[in-house]
Amino acid sequence: MVTDSFYERVYAIVREVPPGTVVTYAEVARRAGSPLASRATGYALNALAWDADVPWWRVVNRTGGISDRPGVGAMVQRERLEAEGVVFSSDGRLDLRRYGWDGAGASGFGGQQ
């Protein structure tokens, strides 16, 4: 019997992402064992309460942009990332090579997500 769900695996992975770094939906899905489940990763994060202990704001889309979250939305995510030192370009994207978390404590995954 499997004791952990896909959502629980997503949450465990996202909890590991350090402040000031981000990970893509696709990378979370890959690490959770379901490489084609980027959209399901988004659903898992959208299911969270705003005050959950999972730093959902550290998950971005594959272009380094923020995907809108129902409710307060993208502005809260951007504010939280900026408070952690993440800088956005004038077109609202962040540099995945600079801020991307590689899962080993370092940032910068070279856009390979």
Number of domains in the chain: 1
Q: Which residue has the higher pLDDT, 105 or 77?
A: 77
pLDDT tens digits, 17-56: 999 999 999 999 999 999 999 999 999 999 998 789 999 9
Q: Tell whether 74 is covered by a domain.
A: yes
Residue 74 sits in a domain whose CATH number is 1.10.10.10
- The parent domain of residue 88 ranges over 6-99
pLDDT over threshold 50, residue 1 = no
Q: Tell whether 113 is covered by a domain.
A: no
As a whole number, mean pLDDT of residues 51-71 equals: 89
- Give the global pTM: 0.86
CA–CA separation, 113 and 27 (whole Å): 6
Q: Which residue has the higher pLDDT, 104 or 110?
A: 104
pLDDT over threshold 60, residue 113 = no
Q: CB-hemisphere CA count at 13 Å for 87?
A: 4
